[in-house]
Amino acid sequence: MLRKYFPAISASARREERIFYLFILPWLFGLVVFSIGPVFGMLGLSFTDWRISLDNLQFVGLENYTKLFADPIFWTSVGNTLYIVVGRVVFGTSFALLLAILLNQKVPGIPFFRAVYYLPTVTAGVAVALVWIWIFNPRLGILNYSLKQIGIQGPNWIFSKTWVKPSLILMSLFSVGPNMIILLAGLQGVPKELYESAEIDGAGHWAKFKNVTLPMLSPVLFFVIIISVVSSFQNFTEIRVMTEGGPGESSNVLIWYLWENAFIFLQLGVAAAVAWIMFVILMALTGIQFRVGRRWVYYEGEA
């Protein structure tokens, strides 16, 4: 049985294995000390009636989970989450890639533009609420003002049941900075020789992009997509600051639902259950991506 996972290996392979474990030792140590306890604690607590105090906890079995599955708002928030995740990943990744390509061009002023496109990521935090009023407020915002100039009556954005989710996706485009930088670093890493030899073969822009850029960038792009899915699931700054799940429940996403249960309703056991459901959904999605990724991600280092 163990043989299957730990087949006999040569002495040099064993040496390499020792180095592997030596190198991951700090991470492994941190995992055991800082993460294992809290993570399994959360798992255990999701089967209790934990509200705040850890004294006199009652084991309630799957009650927190069945309660969730019976709550229509939970299902609404699952739907909202998937809507926003798909939107953020598709548009966010494409937009980040577009910006990375633009910022990788040899045109004057590029360092300035790179800083500009990264600015919203830096100025987030406290400024965020004020900033969004300036941009998205249907009455005062620059967005609707601009639309008015070209004769379009802008929607109510985050104050409309219909538009709140697209608004949140649009807002997320302002924080593509990190993904843009990762992709830019990836683009910078593509050896110039590959482009040169492609040019010799007479390849045009598109052919170069498709045959050189994309394959060489694919490990990084793969990372960006995985991370985008995860962060779209977990990001709730805008939700907390701007919509608090509203109007109605139309922007109530799982992370807000979790937060609300934990820190507003003081239902920490229920919140723990939500966390585990989110974890399982993300596990499944990430697993699928790794499976699919094998088909399109090209690793230079892997023979």
Partner 1 sequence: MAPRKRKQDVSWRKSIKGRHAIGIIITFALLIPLGIAFILPFIVMVSTALKPLNQVFAFPPRLIPETVQWENFADGWYGYGYVNFTTCTWNSLKITVNNIIGNLVSCTLAAYAFARLKARGKNFFFAIVLATMLLPNEALVVPQYILFNKLGWLDTHLPLMVPPWFGWAFFIFLLRQFFLTIPEELIDAAKIDGAGHARILLQIFIPLSKPALATLAIFAFIGNWNNFFGPLLYLRTPDVQTLPVCLVQYQGAYGNTEWHLMMAVATIAVIPVLLVFIFGQRYFVEGIATSGVKG
Partner 2 sequence: MSTEKLSRRAFLKLAAASGSGVALAGLGPLSSIASAQDQVELTFGRHWEAAFRPRQAEYDEGFMERHPDIKINITYNTWADHNNVVPAWAAAGTLPDIIYVHGSRATPWAHEGIIIDIHDIVTADEEFNVDGMWEESVRLYRVDGRIHALPYDHGPIILGYNKDMFDAAGMDYPSEDWTMEDMAAAAVELTDPDAGVWGWDGRLDLGNGGGGFFTGAWGGVHMNEDETEMTMDTPEVRAALNHWYKLIHEDKVGASFTEAESFPNSQPFRAGVAAMGHIATWSTPSMRALANFEWDVAPTPMGADGSRYTGAFGSGYGITPTSDKPDTAWTYLREYLSLDGMIFMWSLSGRGSPARPEGLEVWLNSDPAPPNGHYFLEAMFDYAVTGPPFQSLAAAQVSNVLSTQAELLRLGESSVDEAIAAITEQGQAALDAVADDM
Task: Provide the minimum distance between the beta carbon of 167 and partner 2 in the complex, in angstroms, as a whole number.
Answer: 12
Cross-strand bridge partners of residue 59: 48
Residue with smaller CB distance to partner 1, 70 or 193: 193
Output the CA torsion 33→38→40→42 (10° steps).
180
Can you tell me which of 11, 53, 111, 149 binds partner 1, judged by CB under 8 A?
Answer: 111
Q: What residue 248 binds from partner 1, partner 2, none (CB within 5 to 8 A, per partner kind)?
A: partner 2
How near is the Cβ of 265 to partner 2 at its closest, in Å?
A: 5
Q: Which residues have a Cβ under 8 Å from the Cβ of 193 and sit 6 or more positions away?
A: none
Site string for partner 1, 22-51 (x = CB under 8 A): -xx-xxxxxx-xxx-xxx-xx--x------
Locate tokens 């009636």: which residue? 49
The reply to whether 258 sits near partner 1 by the rule CB under 8 A is: yes
Contact between 136 and partner 1 per CB under 8 A: no
Give the Cα separation of 287 and 274 in Å (integer). 20
Here the tokens at position 228 are 């985008």
What residues contact residue 255 under an 8 Å CB cut-off, 6+ apart? 81, 233, 234, 235, 236, 239, 278
Q: Residues in the site for partner 2, rule: CB under 8 A?
A: 51-55, 133, 137-140, 156, 159-161, 245-249, 260, 262-266, 268
Question: Which pair of tokens denotes residue 149?
Answer: 């100039």
CA distance 216 to 94: 17
Task: Give Cα 50 distance to the centre of its chain.
Answer: 29
User: Can residue 135 be called a binding residue for partner 1 (CB under 8 A)?
Assistant: yes
d(Cα 15, Cα 148) in Å, to the nearest integer? 69
Least separation, in Å, of the C-beta of 27 and partner 1? 3
Q: Can you read off the two tokens belonging to residue 226?
A: 């995985």
Where in the chain does DSSP place strands (E)? none
210's tokens = 């498709």
Distance of CA 2 to the CA centre of its chain: 36
Query: Least CB distance from residue 163 to partner 1, whole Å?
Result: 18
Question: Is residue 102 a contact point for partner 1 (CB under 8 A)?
Answer: yes
> Binds 292, which of partner 2, partner 1, none (CB < 5 to 8 A, cut-off by type)?
none
Q: In this structure, are residues 141 and 157 in contact, taking their beta carbons and an 8 Å threshold? A: yes
Kindly tell me which residue out of 70, 126, 150, 200 binds partner 1, with binding defined by CB under 8 A: 126
**Does 190 engage in binding with partner 1 (CB under 8 A)?**
yes
User: According to the binding rule CB under 8 A, does residue 201 interact with partner 1?
Assistant: no
Q: Smallest gap, in angstroms, from Cβ of residue 264 to partner 2?
A: 5
Which one among 11, 70, 107, 200 touches partner 1, defined by CB under 8 A?
Answer: 107
Closest distance of CB 161 from partner 1, Å: 25
Nearest to partner 2 of 45, 183 (CB atom): 45
